[in-house]
Amino acid sequence: MNKFAKLLMGAAIAGLSATASFAADNIKIAFIDPLSGPFAATGKQGLAQYEFAANELVNKKGGVLGGANFEIVAFDNKISPKESLIQLQVAIDQGIRFIAQGNSSGVANALTDAIKKHNRRNPDKRVIFLNYSAVDPALTNDKCNFWHFRFDANADIKMDALTDIIKKNEGIKKVYLIGQDYSFGKAVAAAAVKMLGAKRPDIEIVGNELHPIGKVKDFTPYARKIIASGADAMITGNWGADMVGLGKSVISAGFKKPIYTYYAASDGITKTFGSDGEGVLKLVGEGQLNPPPNDRADAYVKAFKAKNPDTDIGQPRIANVIEMLARAIEDAGTADDMVKVATALEGMEHDSIWGTKVKIRESDHQAIQNVHILAHTKNDIAHDFDNSGFGLKVESTVDMASAESPTTCKMKRPE
Amino acid sequence: MTGIEANKNTGTKRSDDLAPHKWESRRLINWSSAWPWVSAMVLLLALPVVFPSGSAITIMNQMAITIIFALAYNMLLGQGGMLSFGHAVYMGLGGFFCMHVLNWVEYDGLWLPLPLLPVLGGLFGLAFAFIIGSFSTRRAGTVFAMISLGVGELIAACSIIIVVFFGGEEGVSGDRSMGPEVFGFDFAQQREVYYLIVAWLLISTLAMYLFSRTPIGRITNAVRDNEERAEFLGYSQRHVRWISFCASGFFCGVAGALFAVNLEILTEENLNTTQSGIILLVTFLGGVGFFVGPIIGAIVFTLLQTVLSLYTEIWQLYLGILFVLTVMFFPSGLTGLIAVHIAPWKAGKLGLLAVPYAKLIIPLLAFVLSGAAILEILFHAREASVGDEAMTLYGITFNSHSLLPMIVAVVVAAGSVVIMKRIMPSLKEAWDAASPVSNAP
Amino acid sequence: MSLFIVNILDGLVTGLLLFMLCSGLTLIFSMMGVLNFAHASFYMLGAYFAYQISTYVGFWPGLIIAPVIVGVLGALIERYGLRRVHQYGHVPELIFTFGLALLIEEVVQFLWGKSQKAYEEPAILDFTAFSIAGNAFPAYKVFMIFVAIGIFLVLLYILTKTRVGMIIQAALTYPNTVQNLGHNVPLVFMGVFGVGTAMAGVAGVIAGPVLGTFPGMAFLLGSIVFVTIVVGGLGSLWGALLASLLIGWLQTFAASYNVRMEDILVALGMEKPVDLASSALRDLWTLTLPQIGPILPYLLMVLILIVRPQGLLGKRET
Residues across chain A: 415
Nearest one of B252, B183, B190, B201 to B44, comparing CA atoms = B201
The two most distant CA atoms of chain A are separated, in Å, by 68
Query: Which residues of chain A lie closer than 8 angstroms to B157, CB-CB?
Result: 212, 215
Residues across chain C: 318
Q: Are A318 and A53 in contact (CB under 8 A)?
A: yes
Whether C154 maps to a domain, the answer reads: yes
Q: How many CB atoms lie within 10 A of CB C287?
A: 17
How far is the alpha carbon of A44 from chain B, nearest alpha carbon, in Å?
10
* pLDDT confidence of residue B27: 54
Q: Please, what is the Cα angle at B312 between B306 and B313, to 5 degrees?
A: 95
Q: How many CB atoms lie within 10 A of CB A2?
A: 13
3-state secondary structure of B94: helix
Q: Is B18 a residue whose pLDDT tops 60?
A: no
* pLDDT confidence of residue B10: 37
* pLDDT confidence of residue B428: 81
Q: Are A29 and A70 in contact (CB under 8 A)?
A: yes
DSSP β-bridge partners for residue A349 = A359
Residue C180, exposed/middle/buried by CB under 10 A (0-12, 13-18, 19+)?
exposed
* pLDDT confidence of residue A383: 93
pLDDT bin (cut points 50, 70, 90) of residue A322 is very high
* pLDDT confidence of residue C258: 80
Dihedral angle sign, alpha carbons of residues C198, C200, C201, C202: positive
Query: Which residues of chain C lie closer than 8 angstroms to A254, CB-CB?
Result: 128, 131, 134-136
CB–CB contact B169 A182 (8 Å): yes
Question: pLDDT higher for B250 or B440?
Answer: B250
CB–CB contact C113 A274 (8 Å): no
Q: What is the pLDDT of residues A165-218, one digit of tens each?
A: 999 988 999 999 999 888 788 889 999 999 999 999 999 999 998 888 877 878
Domains A3-153+312-368 and A156-290+370-398 fall in the same CATH topology: yes
- Half-sphere exposure at residue B315, Cβ-oriented, CA atoms within 13 angstroms: 18
Instruction: Give the CA distances from residue B23 to residues A245, B11, B28, B115, B218, in Å, rounded to whole numbers and listed in that order.
Output: 62, 14, 8, 34, 12
Q: Which of A210, A217, A253 sits opposite C221 (nearest CB)?
A: A217
| Rounded (10°) CA dihedral A111, A117, A120, A121 | -120
Chain A interface, mutation test: which of B49, B301, B383, B385, most A Cβ atoms within 10 Å? B385
How far is the alpha carbon of C318 from chain B, nearest alpha carbon, in Å?
6
Q: What is the pLDDT of residues B182-205, one digit of tens each?
A: 887 888 888 889 999 999 999 999
CB of A17 within 8 Å of a chain B CB? The answer is yes
* pLDDT confidence of residue B268: 86
* pLDDT confidence of residue A296: 93
In chain B, pLDDT over 90 holds for what percent of residues? 27
Query: Which residues of chain B lie closer than 8 angstroms to A113, CB-CB?
Result: 173, 264-265
Query: Which residues of chain B lie closer than 8 angstroms to C81, CB-CB?
Result: 324, 328
* pLDDT confidence of residue A24: 47
CB–CB contact A214 C252 (8 Å): no
* pLDDT confidence of residue B118: 95
Q: Hey, where are the domains in chain B?
A: 3-331, 342-439
CB–CB contact C295 B135 (8 Å): no
Number of H helices, E strands in chain B: 19, 4
Query: Which residues of chain B lie closer than 8 angstroms to C29, CB-CB?
Result: none
Query: Which contacts of B97-101 are long-range, i.e. CB under 8 A and separated by 24 or more positions?
Result: B97/B121, B97/B124, B97/B253, B97/B256, B98/B124, B98/B256, B98/B257, B98/B260, B98/B261, B99/B172, B99/B173, B99/B174, B99/B260, B99/B264, B99/B265, B99/B266, B100/B165, B100/B172, B100/B174
In this prediction, does ipTM exceed 0.90? Answer: no
CB–CB contact C258 A209 (8 Å): yes
How far is the alpha carbon of A2 from chain C, nearest alpha carbon, in Å?
24
Transcribe B154-221 into DSSP letters.
Answer: HHHHHHHH-HHHH-GGG-EE--GGGS--BTTB---SHHHHHHHHHHHHHHHHHHHHHHHHSHHHHHHH
Question: pTM of the prediction?
Answer: 0.84
Distance of CA A306 to the CA centre of its chain: 23
How far is the alpha carbon of A102 from chain C, nearest alpha carbon, in Å?
18
Q: Are A283 and A261 in contact (CB under 8 A)?
A: yes
Say how many CB pairs under 8 Å bridge A and B. Answer: 142
Q: Which of C99, C280, C291 sits opposite B164 (nearest CB)?
A: C280
Question: pLDDT higher for C89 or A299?
Answer: A299
How far is the alpha carbon of C181 from chain A, nearest alpha carbon, in Å?
46
DSSP β-bridge partners for residue A204 = A174
CB of B441 within 8 Å of a chain C CB? The answer is no
Q: Which CATH architecture has domain A156-290+370-398?
A: 3-Layer(aba) Sandwich (3.40)
* pLDDT confidence of residue B436: 63
Q: Are A360 and A348 in contact (CB under 8 A)?
A: yes
* pLDDT confidence of residue A144: 93
Distance CA A285, CA A161 (A): 9
Distance CA B411, CA B47 (A): 42
How far is the alpha carbon of B381 from chain C, nearest alpha carbon, in Å?
12
CB–CB contact A244 C116 (8 Å): yes
Of A98-102, B345-349, C306-310, the least confident: B345-349
CB of A210 within 8 Å of a chain B CB? The answer is no
Distance of CA C168 to the CA centre of its chain: 22
* pLDDT confidence of residue A12: 41
E strand or H helix at C129, and its extent? strand C128-132
Distance CA C184, CA B88 (A): 43
pLDDT bin (cut points 50, 70, 90) of residue B260 is very high
CB–CB contact A109 B369 (8 Å): no
* pLDDT confidence of residue C317: 53
- Residue B272, amino acid: N
CB of B433 within 8 Å of a chain A CB? The answer is no
pLDDT bin (cut points 50, 70, 90) of residue B30 is low
How far is the alpha carbon of B200 from chain C, nearest alpha carbon, in Å?
30
Question: pLDDT higher for A100 or B5?
Answer: A100
> Residue B156: closest CA among chain C residues belongs to which residue?
C295
Q: Is B17 a residue whose pLDDT tops 50?
A: no
What range defines the domain where residue C248 resides? Answer: 2-256
What is the domain-level CATH number for residue C129? 1.10.3470
Q: Are C69 and C202 in contact (CB under 8 A)?
A: no
Tell me how many domains chain C contains. Answer: 1
* pLDDT confidence of residue B28: 53
Helix C296-307, helix B141-161: angle, nearest 10: 150
E strand or H helix at B276, and its extent? helix B273-286
Q: What is the pLDDT of residues B327-336, one digit of tens each?
A: 888 888 899 8
Whether C300 maps to a domain, the answer reads: no
Q: In what order do the strands lie in the sheet with A391-398?
A: A204-211, A174-180, A233-236, A259-261, A281-285, A371-377, A391-398
Query: Is A3-153+312-368 CATH 3.40.50.300?
Result: no
Q: What contacts A382, CB < 8 A, 6 or more positions away?
A: A289, A290, A291, A292, A298, A301, A391
Whether C272 maps to a domain, the answer reads: no
* pLDDT confidence of residue C15: 93
Whether C293 maps to a domain, the answer reads: no
Task: Look up residue A366 and give its DSSP letter.
Answer: B
* pLDDT confidence of residue C51: 94
CB of C295 within 8 Å of a chain A CB? The answer is yes
> Residue B299: closest CA among chain A residues belongs to which residue?
A14
> Residue B303: closest CA among chain A residues belongs to which residue?
A14
Residues across chain B: 441
Whether C24 maps to a domain, the answer reads: yes
Q: What is the pLDDT of residues B240-256, one digit of tens each?
A: 999 999 999 999 999 99
> Residue C253: closest CA among chain A residues belongs to which residue?
A221
Q: What is the pLDDT of residues A15-73, one digit of tens each?
A: 333 333 344 478 999 999 988 776 778 888 999 999 999 999 999 999 999 889 999 99
Say how many CB pairs under 8 Å bridge B and C. Answer: 112
Chain B interface, mutation test: which of C82, C83, C102, C291, most B Cβ atoms within 10 Å? C102
CB of B219 within 8 Å of a chain C CB? The answer is no
Distance CA A198, CA A202 (A): 10
Chain C adjacent subunits, 3+ CB pairs under 8 A: A, B
CB–CB contact A81 B392 (8 Å): no
CB–CB contact C135 A225 (8 Å): no
- Residue A243, amino acid: M
Q: How many CB atoms lie within 10 A of CB A142?
A: 11
Distance CA B62, CA A117 (A): 19
Q: Is A308 a residue whose pLDDT tops 60?
A: yes
How far is the alpha carbon of A4 from chain B, nearest alpha carbon, in Å?
4
Chain A adjacent subunits, 3+ CB pairs under 8 A: B, C
Q: Hey, where are the domains in chain A?
A: 3-153+312-368, 156-290+370-398
Q: Are A370 and A401 in contact (CB under 8 A)?
A: yes
Instruction: Pick from A26-30, A310-314, B388-392 the range whose average pLDDT is largest.
Output: A26-30
Query: Which residues of chain C lie closer than 8 angstroms to B142, CB-CB?
Result: 35, 234, 318
Instruction: Give the CA distances from residue C118 to residues A72, B269, B345, in Å, rounded to whole numbers and listed in that order.
Output: 32, 30, 59
Distance CA A374, CA A282 (A): 6
CB–CB contact B264 A81 (8 Å): no
Chain B interface, mutation test: which of A86, A116, A312, most B Cβ atoms within 10 Å? A86
In chain A, pLDDT over 70 holds for what percent of residues? 94
* pLDDT confidence of residue A183: 79
How far is the alpha carbon of B79 from chain C, nearest alpha carbon, in Å?
13
CB of A272 within 8 Å of a chain C CB? The answer is yes
Q: Is B3 a residue whose pLDDT tops 50?
A: no
Question: In B, residues 289-318, which contact C (CB 8 Å cutoff)?
Answer: 314, 316-317
Q: How many CB atoms lie within 10 A of CB C226?
A: 27
* pLDDT confidence of residue A10: 44
Q: How many CB atoms lie within 10 A of CB B358?
A: 9
Question: In C, residues 250-269, which contact A (CB 8 Å cutoff)?
Answer: 251-253, 255-256, 258
- Residue A45, amino acid: Q
DSSP β-bridge partners for residue B397 = B392
* pLDDT confidence of residue A390: 94
The mean of the pLDDT values for chain B is: 83
Distance CA B63, CA B302 (A): 6
Whether C108 maps to a domain, the answer reads: yes
How far is the alpha carbon of C169 from chain A, nearest alpha carbon, in Å?
33
CB–CB contact A307 B157 (8 Å): no
Q: How many CB atoms lie within 10 A of CB A143?
A: 19
> Residue A269: closest CA among chain C residues belongs to which residue?
C116
How far is the alpha carbon of A42 from chain C, nearest alpha carbon, in Å?
9
Region B333-344: mean pLDDT is 86
Query: Which residues of chain C lie closer than 8 angstroms to B317, CB-CB?
Result: 103, 106-107, 109-110
Nearest one of C201, C162, C157, C248 to C64, comparing CA atoms = C201
- The residue ranges of chain C whose pLDDT is under 70 are 316-318
